[in-house]
Amino acid sequence: MMSHTLRNHPCNLPQGTVITGKWHRHSYKLLKQLGSGANGVVYLAESKKGLVAVKLSDDHASVTSEVNILRRFSKVQGVALGPSLLDVDDWMNPFLHQTVPFYVMEYIKGESLPAFIRKHGKEWVIILLLQLLAALDQLHQEGWVFGDLKPENLLVSGPPPTIRLLDVGGTTLQGRAIKEFTELYDRGYWGLGSRKAEPSYDLFAVAMIMITVCSPVKLERKGDGRSQLLSIIQKDTILRKYENILLKAIDGKYKRASEMRQDILAAFHRSSRSHDQQPARHMKQASRRSQKRKRRKGKGVLETVLIAAVLLCVYAIYVYHQMLP
């Protein structure tokens, strides 16, 4: 028997519920809830073609808006902006005798961005954010702003590791007021800008994502937001390398995601060159020391340094190719 809560919320359904579309007659067995929000509930479901994600909502206008956004996403070639749209239909809730609109999306297997970084290391932050910026640039060129951009709305699928955008409910036409936001990633909360839907709003959120993923500090605004964020950036070894870029995004000075992406690439290359030069300096020092030691021992040190330098170069080339859009 359904609880009082479930009876009174047409989108809260028990595991095992089968919903069948009124028009297309496709059936979906709900396996578990993946997430919920102001505009509905998303379930993992089983269909004839495999696992899918189903979103139900009692807000017809919201469903229509999100479906239109997903359709626009699908027209952008070469960049996986979000999950593919598979079906749109209505379902008659037999418990409430109420029509509930829903749509079906591709189920993207993967792990959250923070979980991926904890497992594989903070070095991956740059690679994945470069992918994210490429996707956002395409979205912005289509006239949209993602809006509610945060780690929870980013999934890393693969291999190869690929970042994907989830939950398009906050996506807003440029020029309008942001529909949905999360305080920590909202420049208005930090006193660093408006909630007008424009590319710089998303790019502020990208900077905040990088800060929160890299820094162990639990963020909460205390006093002057900019000074607080600058202090956190300067205390982290990775964030410090991209300080100027992060501050430029925080201050709303980037007009396009592609500009921020190019600056990150340039900073990464500078960092890579400095790492490449260190083994070379060590090789010279080792060579000088070897003249004062036994020839056999000096040769072993030099070979070790050479191997280390080669491995470092190979790693740098690998990372560079991973960053290409």
Rounded to the nearest integer, the mean pLDDT of the chain is 85
Regarding whether 281 and 216 lie in a shared domain, the answer is no
Tell me the pLDDT tens digit for each residue of 64-85. Answer: 999 998 888 776 655 667 889 9
Residue 154 clears pLDDT 70, i.e. is over it? yes
Residue where a domain terminates, one of 68, 84, 106: 106
pLDDT, tens digit (0-9, with 9 covering 90-100), for 228-282: 999 999 999 999 999 999 999 999 999 999 999 999 999 999 887 766 555 545 5
Active site (annotated) includes residue 58: no
For residues 207 and 140, membership in a common domain is answered with: yes
Catalytic residue among 58, 89, 137, 148: 148
Pick the range with the lowest mean pLDDT from 153-157, 264-268, 311-315: 311-315
Strand partners, 145: 172
Q: Report the chain's terminal Cα–Cα distance, integer Å.
A: 51
**What's the CA gap between 146 and 163, in Å, rounded?**
15
What is the model's pLDDT at position 7? 44
161 with 203, same domain: the answer is yes
Domain endpoint, select from 62, 87, 106: 106
| Shared domain check, 201 and 117 | yes
Give tens-digit pLDDT for 170-229: 899 999 999 999 999 999 999 999 999 999 999 999 999 999 999 988 889 998 999 999
Domain of 36 in residue numbering reads as: 4-106
Bond preceding residue 14 cis, omega within 30 of 0: no
* One domain, residues 127 and 257: yes
The letter for the amino acid at 244 is N
What are the structure tokens assigned to 225, written together?
Answer: 């937001």
DSSP conformation letters of 25-89: --EEEEEEEEEEETTEEEEEEEETTEEEEEEE-S-HHHHHHHHHHHHHHHHSTT---SPPEEEEE
Same domain flag for 74 and 134: no
Does residue 177 share a domain with residue 89?
Answer: no
pLDDT of residue 39: 80
* d(C-alpha 97, C-alpha 287), whole Å: 83
For the chain, what is the largest distance between any 2 Cα atoms, rounded to a whole number of angstroms? 90
> Which position has the higher pLDDT, 272 or 321?
272
The backbone torsions φ and ψ at residue 26, rounded to the nearest 5 degrees and listed phi first, read -80, 140
Distance CA 286, CA 269 (A): 26
Residue 120, pLDDT above cutoff 80: yes
Band (pLDDT 50/70/90 cuts) for residue 297 is very low
- Note whether 168 and 194 are same-domain residues: yes
**Same-domain status, 64 and 48:** yes
Q: Are residues 166 and 102 in the same domain?
A: no
Tell me, yes or no, whether 135 and 83 share the same domain. Answer: no
Q: Which residues pair with 91 in a beta bridge?
A: 100
Say how many residues make up the chain: 325
Residue 248 annotated in ligand binding = no
For residue 49, give the CATH number of its domain: 3.30.200.20
Give the CATH number for residue 208: 1.10.510.10
What is the tally of structural domains in the chain?
3
Helix or strand or coil: residue 96? Answer: coil
Q: Among 106, 140, 163, where does a domain finish?
A: 106
290 and 309 in a common domain: yes
